[in-house]
Structure 1
Amino acid sequence: MAHYESLDALLSAQLPAEEHTSQWMPIEQSRITDFADATDDHQWIHVDEARASSGPYGTTIAHGYLTLALLPALLEGNVEVAGAALRINYGLDHVRFLTPVPSGARVRAVSRVVETAPASQGARVTLEVRVEIEGAERPALVAHQLLIVVGDEQ
């Protein structure tokens, strides 16, 4: 975890910061099916286990957007700023889905702060993020996540 004593310390920190690695998170078929239901994306490669077993990956795979949607959970606690009231998701840049996540796999996020800038409410933070699949050579996803860290005086 990257810990900063204040917003000023965050804004003046030497970057890029050290990497933070999350815990592994299992991607069960039930999670994939629930995401398919939530998004109305029931493509067979995600939900039809019998058909997917003879498909290109030998099993169902998670939606790329499911992997992306897990970033808040995977990145929980990766940047802590003393005196900050909250973190607001500001957006994403450079999102790429590189490797499918098979059902039953485990993923984790590796992230680091690569840029900061003052913002009207506190600080804008850019995180370089990659989501790794246990045992896979290439990551599932790479992205830059943009956050606003809001000071407690706001």
Structure 2
Amino acid sequence: MLIKTIVITICCGVMCLILHDCNILANSQKRIVVPTTVENAFNTKYSRNIPRSWELHYYGYKANFIENGIKYEAEFLANGQWVETERIVSEKEFPEVVLQKIKEKYPGFIVTKYEIEITPKGVFFEVDITNGEIEDELYFDEKGNLATDLYED
């Protein structure tokens, strides 16, 4: 009787896990419905590219695409207004003034990610930094001044 109870309990547990995983898979495969205004805005700005995927964010939509072998993310408000396009880069692509500011203001921190963000207000430089205990994200303008990223996801 004890073995039968154990087998039934294990089977029920396995079934619950399978159903849970199926639900997660079904939810992850739901297609995001992108408004026509956003699709049109993307097509106008990046007519030679097709988004590989779209993501929904609290402020709007993000299109992931590749141009000349480089991965980009273009972000739009729900009304189709373009807000930024970003890509991950290496340290070599950052202005020396920005790198110097990071070293001065955050000694002991290392940069774990470099991004260039092109916005209607200009080009900005974003980094993720850590010292092993603290992690932070910094956003600089071209002159090395700290700025605010309004559309951080």
- Specify which structure has the higher proportion of strand: 1
TM-score category (smaller protein): under 0.3
More RCO (CA 8 Å, sep 6+): 1
Which has the higher Rg, Structure 1 or Structure 2?
A: 2
TM-score scaled by structure 2? Answer: 0.24
- Specify which structure has the higher proportion of helix: 2
